[in-house]
Amino acid sequence: MPSKNPAFSRGFGNAGPGQQYAGWGNAPQHGAPQYGAPTQYGAPAPQQDAYTAPSPYGTTPATRYMTMDDVVTKTGLSFLVTVLAAAATWAIPGDAGLGLALPAVLVAFVLGLVIAFKQIANPVATLSYGALYGVALGAISEVFNNLYPGIVVQALIGTFGVFAGMLVVYKTGAIRVTPKLTRWIVGALIGVLALIVVNLVASFFTPGGLGLRDGGPLAIGFSLLVIGVAAFTLLLDFDMADEAIRRGAPAKFAWYVAFGLLVTVIWLYIEILRLLSYFQDE
């Protein structure tokens, strides 16, 4: 079955459940030695009771397949590490935490690219990414909250609301993740990222760049667009988890799913925080 999610473009084409059990339960060949008969190595086979002999069908497979419980557990642990790192950074006295934000973001960005392109699925990579971005989020959130008291709580509520809403939309089937929708979301994602980069480059030559981040009406509209794209990206993350389970991905792949959700939710939180700050300036 062709994958609808771009994360499955490689790596799990042979992960079907039947692949792990090749050779199990083969029928005995004619002429096979009976119990007690000499084996091909010359040693007599031990006598065994047919009722007490281990069944070849009761062997536990070497690879455990991913379940939704794995996704929930790994994702919850990843978010917990991120929140704890953010809280610890916020608790640092003075501006020391803010000085850690830029190095943490740069390292997390590089690590995220490596995880994404190599499809690394292990706890060290995902939790390290969460901890690094937690440091950055703690410092950024502290700055915003000092400028606009209470804005962090509002951003957290907004992020949780969007996440829960998109999960309900996905689970009820109100919006189905089809190949066409996936192409639209990926295209919109690339377009948004391109505009962000162009605006950043333009800001070096013109104050405010293209006006996408100056707090004006255009900036508000652009933030709403970004939040919408991030929200629909959550649908791809949910579909990735379901498809991995359907295709018999190993349990450790849940760490990669957790990474994808972490990236989207962090992006969503930062954009909601930015949008709320625009309204505070009015």
User: What per-residue confidence (pLDDT) applies to 93?
Assistant: 86
Residues 251, 70: contact at Cβ < 8 Å? Answer: yes
- 86, amino acid identity: A
Spell out the residues 6+ positions from residue 252 whose beta carbon is closer than 8 angstroms to its own: 66, 121, 122
Query: Residue 187 carries which side chain, given as an amino acid letter?
Result: G
Per residue in 90-124, pLDDT (tens digit) is 998 877 788 889 999 999 999 999 999 998 999 99
Mean pLDDT along residues 204-233: 90
Q: Which residues pair with 250 in a beta bridge?
A: 65
What sign for the dihedral angle of Cα 36, 37, 39, 44?
Answer: positive
Sign, CA torsion 171/174/180/186? negative
pLDDT of residue 85: 96
Distance CA 276, CA 41 (A): 77
User: Residues 238-267: what's their mean pLDDT?
Assistant: 94
pLDDT tens-digit readout, 155-172: 999 999 999 999 999 999
Residue 194 pLDDT grade (very low, low, confident, very high; cuts 50, 70, 90): very high
**Reported pTM:** 0.77
**pLDDT at 28 > cutoff 50:** no
Whole-number average pLDDT of the chain: 81
Indicate the pLDDT class of residue 64, thresholds 50, 70 and 90.
confident
